[in-house]
Amino acid sequence: MTLFSVAFYILASVIIISTGIAITRRNLVHAAVYLIISFFGSAMLFYLLGAPLLAALEVIIYAGAIMVLFLFIIMMLDEEKLEEKFFPIHQWTPAAVMSGLFVAVAALIISGDSDSQVQLQAFTAEPASFGRYLFQKHWLAIEIVSLLLLIALIGVLYLGRDVRKNNPK
Amino acid sequence: MLTWIAGFILLIVKLGIVLGCMLFLAAYLVWAERKLLARLQVRYGPNRAGKFGLLQPIADSIKMITKEDIVPEAADRIIFLVAPAVVATTALLMFAVVPFGSSLKIWGREIPLVISDLNVGLLYVFALSSLGVYGVALGGWASNSKFALLGGIRGAAQMISYELSLGLSLIPIVMLAQSFSLVDIVQAQANYPFIFVQPISFAIFFISAVAESKRIPFDLPEAENELGAGFHMEYSGMRFGLFFIGEYVHIQVLGALAAVFFLGGWRGPWLPPPVWLLLKIILVALVMIWIRGTLPRLRYDQLMELGWKVLVPAALINIVITGAFILI
Amino acid sequence: MNTDKNESPMTQILADLKALAIGFATTFKHLFQKPFTEEYPEYKRPLPARSRARIILTRDPDGGERCVACYLCSAVCPVSCISMQSAEQADGRRYAPWFRINFGRCIYCGLCEEACPTAAIQLTPDFEMCKQDILALVYEKEDLLVDHGGKDKQYNFYQYAGVVTDVGEKGTHIKEEKPVNIRSNLP
């Protein structure tokens, strides 16, 4: 057990526990807070695995921006009082199937490499080399994604336009 | 093992010094703000506790600590209790990547004058400042008061909007320095500070920084005359004090970042590097106080309009122009 | 942001910048001005004689107590902070054996002064009377009584009132005619 693996297991358990709490909370704000902790844990995990850039981006984008928007919406909504009852079956059956698949795949991976032969190499991704890799090898994918974002932006502008100006009444 | 222990002790010592300096400076920034703001408004400001009111921060902190810590009955207790700590901690942690000198040689050991030279230092700063929003938003929500909630919502909206322009305004700096590391960015300003080549960037950064620290003219989350005190309305005692410390540490951090990104960091003639950084931080803080003494608060739509329709496009155009210059 | 469509954006921006610069220059100039603040404990602003603060019970020019314990001040007091007991002296003068004002409650409205028929109860400009202990703010008659006539120095109620006291018999008071014999007054 090295220091590295101790840190890994602590982080992993924090992530799993906080995510588990997040999906079982009735109070939406509490759920969001646990999800933030989970994202934060994943960011630490990225850092541990030698990807500080991804760690920073995870915190900025997921924990920082997306969860703030979630929280924003939750705070704006009128908090409705949900009665305590189990989720309906048509909601949790697909979820159970998916998680069953997930567990099966994980079991396959672990059993295929039972002796942990493949060791994770200590590797640090520099931001510059990461950027070069992304924009030189995968420039097409980046461009397509940015186009998608542009379309989304234009869509938002279209939806949010001032209707009164177009048809004065 | 011995070097590891030595490194650990060194880190603790550096942390202690920086933390002590920051909290001391935060306390005296409050004093400076009250004094200078008073003079800008033709008043005296605090002048009772000690000569020129110099003991005022101590009196304030004694008051804060000895006051009752009230938790409203309808509040969400745990979140209410933790929220102020989030604000103060994120503000304090941001300073970890700010370099305050090149390096020092003591007993043959090279000691870099920065707590941690992350190669993603700039992103680390943004990550923490985006986490700082939670203190405001959750503190406002957990108070279970409509004014605090309004303050929290305003704070969240304002901070995520201005974080965007803050980030975009720094991309030209990263392009010029070719690094996210704050140490490298200061190194890149060996010949001239970046404010001379990127004045627009500096203006955008500074406006966004003032908005990010929720100060006048962008203090809508607090807005004394419409929301009482906004997100920290229900807080009392040292928890309010933590919000307060967080705000002033945030000012220092933003001053330090302005110094690192635009004013040449710790560089300067004659004086030792940490003093130069301190002077630059104080200069930025004084300008922020001057702004507070002069400008009225913006309306909410004006705030959003300035952020999204002026600063973000200006920052984007600035990036394109800088990129073109670098290519040529 | 001004949205005047007639001007070009450049002149608009310049005008805005100029407006900002004027504002900043104004506050900067304030830095070198002497503050207007009057520093209170060192400098006490002279208050007008009719300012309303600490209440006193005055005496007439002869040194007698003016208060006749008529309860008018107590009745008019909106916060009911005045209480007293009335009694009569051997010479016919009415007086208050005890008279109490709770300054912890008093709102310094001055209605008692207006209600007082003998100008006994008066408000003074002295406002520095706060205490740590709230019970110390309950003033008894000996705390309230002063040795002067307050604002109306010469007024002596018993010289005007048609009451028989040691000041004079019936018909001897100022602006008072001799009493008429109602039996000889018949037509």
Q: Tell me if B43 and C37 make a contact (CB, 8 A cut-off).
A: yes
B160 interfacial to chain A (CB closer than 8 Å): yes
Counted domains in chain A: 2
Q: Tell me if B294 and C36 make a contact (CB, 8 A cut-off).
A: no
B56, pLDDT greater than 60: yes
- In DSSP notation, C8-74 reads -HHHHHHHHHHHHHHHHHHHHHHTTSPP----TTTS-PPPPTT---SEEE-B-TTS-B-----SHHH
Q: Is B307 exposed, middle or buried (0-12, 13-18, 19+ CB in 10 A)?
A: buried
Of B44, B290, B295, the CB nearest to C37: B44
C33 interfacial to chain B (CB closer than 8 Å): yes
What pLDDT sits at residue B79? 87
Report yes or no: C60 and C52 within 8 Å, Cβ to Cβ: no
Query: How many Cβ atoms from other residues are within 10 Å of residue A47's Cβ?
Result: 21
Residue A96 lies in a domain: no
Distance (Å, whole) CA B283 – CA B285:
5
Same domain flag for A4 and A67: yes
Sorting pLDDT into bands at 50, 70 and 90, what band is A116?
low
A44 interfacial to chain B (CB closer than 8 Å): no
Of the ranges A139-148, B40-49, B116-125, B263-272, which is most confident? A139-148
Distance (Å, whole) CA C51 – CA C58:
17
Same domain flag for A67 and A6: yes
Q: Tell me if B157 and A60 make a contact (CB, 8 A cut-off).
A: no
Sorting pLDDT into bands at 50, 70 and 90, what band is A137?
confident
pLDDT (tens digit per residue) in A57-78:
888 888 888 888 888 888 877 6
* Six-digit token string for B138: 């959750």
Find the range with the poorest average confidence among A100-104, A137-141, B116-120, B222-226: B116-120
Counted domains in chain B: 1
- Residue B243, SS3 per DSSP: helix
Residue A28 lies in a domain: yes
Sort strands C94-95 and C87-88 into parallel, antiparallel or unpaired.
Answer: antiparallel
Q: What angle do CA B93, B96, B97 make, to 5 degrees?
A: 130
* CB burial readout B144-159, b (16+ within 10 A) else e: ebebbbbbbbbbbbbb
What pLDDT sits at residue A86? 62
Which residue range forms the structural domain that includes residue A44? 1-79
pLDDT (tens digit per residue) in B228-241:
888 888 888 888 88
For chain C, residues with pLDDT lower than 70 are 1-6
Residue A65 lies in a domain: yes
Report yes or no: B308 and B229 within 8 Å, Cβ to Cβ: no
Sorting pLDDT into bands at 50, 70 and 90, what band is B217?
confident
Which residue range forms the structural domain that includes residue B117? 2-46+54-327
Residue with the larger pLDDT of the pair A99 and B108: A99
| Orientation angle between helical segments B273-294 and C9-30, nearest 10 degrees | 100
A47, pLDDT greater than 70: yes
What pLDDT sits at residue C164? 78
Contacts of A56 in chain B (CB under 8 A): 120, 123-124, 126-127
CATH 3.30.70.3270 residue window(s) in chain C: 55-160
Distance (Å, whole) CA B185 – CA B175:
10
What pLDDT sits at residue A17? 93
* Distance set, CA B293 to CA B38, B217, B287, C18, C24 (Å): 8, 10, 10, 18, 9
Sorting pLDDT into bands at 50, 70 and 90, what band is A83?
low
pLDDT (tens digit per residue) in A5-41:
888 889 999 999 999 988 888 788 888 889 989 998 9
Residue with the larger pLDDT of the pair B201 and A85: B201
What pLDDT sits at residue C56? 92
> What's the whole-number average pLDDT of chain B?
86
ipTM for the predicted complex comes to 0.81
Sorting pLDDT into bands at 50, 70 and 90, what band is A122?
low
Nearest CA in chain C to B302: C1
Distance (Å, whole) CA A133 – CA A91:
41
What pLDDT sits at residue C81? 93
Of A79, A103, A136, the last residue of a domain is A79
First to last CA, chain C: 92
pLDDT (tens digit per residue) in B93-146:
888 888 887 777 777 677 777 777 777 888 888 888 888 888 888 888 888 888
Please give, rounded to a whole number of angstroms, the shortest distance from the CA of A142 to a CA of chain B.
18
Contacts of A65 in chain B (CB under 8 A): 130, 160, 163
Same domain flag for A7 and A72: yes
Torsion of CA B192, B194, B196, B197, to 10 degrees: 110
Same domain flag for A62 and A136: no
What pLDDT sits at residue C111? 94
Q: Tell me if C23 and B294 make a contact (CB, 8 A cut-off).
A: yes
What pLDDT sits at residue B5? 84
Sorting pLDDT into bands at 50, 70 and 90, what band is A124?
low
C55-160 belongs to CATH 3.40.50.2300: no
Mean pLDDT (whole number) for B209-221: 86
* Distance set, CA A59 to CA A128, B6, B125, B257 (Å): 19, 31, 11, 20
Strands (E) across B24-93 are located at none
* Six-digit token string for B24: 């001391």
Of the ranges A82-91, B169-178, C94-103, which is most confident? C94-103
Residue A106 lies in a domain: no
C1 interfacial to chain B (CB closer than 8 Å): yes
Report yes or no: C68 and C118 within 8 Å, Cβ to Cβ: yes
What pLDDT sits at residue A118? 58
B97 interfacial to chain A (CB closer than 8 Å): no
Sorting pLDDT into bands at 50, 70 and 90, what band is A85?
low
Mean pLDDT (whole number) for B31-38: 90
* CB burial readout A85-104, b (16+ within 10 A) else e: eeeeeeeeeeeeeeeeeeee
Of A79, A108, A141, the last residue of a domain is A79
Cα C100 to the center of its chain, rounded Å: 16
